[in-house]
Structure 1
């Protein structure tokens, strides 16, 4: 049984995780939200989950490191400096950072990596995602996770090989580029498709989230898995053993 502390406890994901914990073998150690420090929460938790905001990440990493507890980060919209800070924290504690805690999406990313590794770059890759009207970042963290899986399989940097926001006279598509398209509307929890478009044939790998609870259940499983691990940076693929 794990005592799980929730950073961002009043947000959509924080409330969903609290709901999952009510019906699990684990317990909620407590929660903090906007402008609240996580250090006291870290001291009374076996593991922390962070679904707050990018601007709070540095302080949350410091709180976890100071208390010596693992941290699962599900916050999206991170930039290079955030990932550098996560790598640094991983020298002292176990840290799992992911753009999506769904076990199904984790398997999808694995399948995308397998497909990209076996198909040459004359197969164009497009990542299509749709979320609810309130989502503030695009492409979604999950879309980027899927794009990174494809880029890694092709041994290229996603930042230097991606296309998004096409509008107007854009010219021909760059060979080997990984494209992104983001749709927003309604109450969609999250739909993602990765399209491999070749000569006269296409392969589409897709995942549809019907309810936010799938992310909460995955976050709880990932957080519990982190307890007792050696310091380092982990992924949801590590949780599934793939």
Structure 2
């Protein structure tokens, strides 16, 4: 399968390119980056000391040469790439976070014509953690829940898409909407903790790849379910599984729970 990678000069883009080049069943066909990027015009494998023959471009029309795009960029960039994917019948794996409701609606509309895997986290471990959280939320309905996450200083959205998904899983398991029970910040005289609320705490600093912990706090005990990423390789490998999943499916909107068979 011919794979395109967006954000080719970035840290995640390079991790994806490396993973695609190592996969025997995939080939790197397109490397995209934003206009003005210093990487434009360079070979996509130059950072690895490899000559791939794929030159980094900012032209979404290049997606005509790919079977599937992997995109971990920014919402505005992803949506521009998405339109090109629809035009050229190219499937897309979206790991970008921070979409507003209009952006999410555009993704759902595109999925009527192409295959889309849209998930806040492509890691196999994170998606397994989501299943554990669902179970814990059902077993511990009266426990206080707090979601903690930490990422590198350059991450622009907060809480992370993964943290939001974790909160959504807990809320849904309890028959609630996250918007109705979330506490996004605490400051000043907040009063006692209101039962059933889900609190969020955020750290941004250094080069932290991604840490997430969900606390279930009861009387006399506390359960912590934690996932820590030490590199971006797990996101890349999960993305390749999503690419392969789309190759065997008709157009539609899928998530990593479906890709990994955890939705049953």
Alignment TM-score, normalising by the size of structure 2: 0.86
**Greater CA radius of gyration, 1 or 2?**
2
**Quick check: 2:152–2:209 contact (8 Å CA) kept in 1?**
yes
Alignment check: 8 A CA contact 1:57 1:82 kept: no
- 1:201 maps to 221
1:24 is aligned to 23
User: What is the match of residue 164 of structure 2?
Assistant: 144
Which of residues 110, 132, 136 is equivalent to 1:115? Answer: 136
Runs of at least 5 residues in structure 2 that lack an aligned partner in the other structure: 36-57
1:38 aligns with 2:53: no
RMSD in angstroms over aligned alpha carbons? Answer: 1.4
Question: Which residue is 2:149 aligned to?
Answer: 129
Q: Which residue does the alignment assign to 1:106?
A: 127
Shift of 1:65: 1.2
Contact kept? 1:162, 1:179, Cα under 8 Å = yes
Distance 1:37 1:99 in 2: 25
User: Aligned pairs, how many?
Assistant: 239
1:80 aligns with 2:79: no
User: Which consecutive unaligned segments of at least 5 residues does structure 1 have?
Assistant: none
Match for residue 235 of structure 2 among 205, 212, 215: 215
CA distance in 2, matches of 1:161, 1:90: 30
TM (norm. structure 1) is 0.94
Q: Distance in 2 between matches of 1:237 and 1:143?
A: 16
Q: Which runs of 4+ in 1 moved over 6 A?
A: none
1:191 maps to 211
Of structures 1 and 2, the one with the larger relative CO (CA 8 A, separation 6+) is 1
Tell whether 2:208 aligns with 1:164.
no
Whether contact under 8 Å (2:185, 2:199) holds in the other structure is no
Q: Does 1:51 align with 2:50?
A: no
The 3-state SS of whatever aligns with 1:145 is helix
Deviation by residue 1:86-121 (Cα, 9 ceiling, x = unmatched): 11111111111111111100100111112112321x
